[in-house]
Amino acid sequence: MPTHALPTHALVAIVTILALLVYIFMLMRVGRARAKYDVPAPAISGNEDFERIFRVQANTLESLPVFLAVLWLSAVYWSDYIAAGLGLVWIIGRILYMTGYSKAAASRSTGFLIQAAATMVLLVGALIRVVWIAFQAGI
């Protein structure tokens, strides 16, 4: 049976796809909530339950570019395994954020803190590694 090496950054690519699938799921929840709570587009207010579901999607959209950038920088400059693991932590945090916030705004903190911590570790880790490499290269 042949052994195939995992392509470079395949794990981070999988985590990227999973993160985007979670976001697409959130988009679909907003569409269903519009119908359920009778909030026609382009309105984004008028029903508190709808507004929480909408904010989950909007807040995730706001954090997604930073997360994806530092995820890939960490994969390139540190490790695919480390970046993918932290990326999974971010996804879990976002799912907890979604389930908590959808029930009550006060219930979003745990998920938010988990995903924020994962993002900060990826960001600081990538920054340190890039600066270190640049310093070593004499830049």
Q: Which domains does the chain have, with CATH numbers?
A: 10-136 (1.20.120.550)
Find the DSSP H helices in 37-108: 48-77, 80-103
pLDDT attached to residue 1: 47
Mean pLDDT for each consecutive 10-residue tract of the chain (139 residues)? 69 98 98 96 95 97 98 96 98 98 95 98 97 92
pTM of the complete model? 0.92
pLDDT attached to residue 133: 94
Q: For residue 136, with 0-12 CB atoms within 10 Å meaning exposed, 13-18 middle and 19 or more buried, which class applies?
A: exposed
pLDDT attached to residue 106: 94
pLDDT attached to residue 17: 98
Nearest-angstrom CA–CA distance, 83 and 11? 8
Nearest-angstrom CA–CA distance, 71 and 86? 8
pLDDT attached to residue 4: 61
Are residues 63 and 119 in contact, defined by beta-carbon separation less than 8 angstroms? Answer: yes
Backbone angles phi, psi at 78, to 5 degrees: -120, -85
pLDDT attached to residue 5: 63
pLDDT attached to residue 122: 98
Residue owning tokens 């803190």: 113
Nearest-angstrom CA–CA distance, 43 and 17? 29
Are residues 88 and 43 in contact, defined by beta-carbon separation less than 8 angstroms? Answer: no
pLDDT attached to residue 105: 93
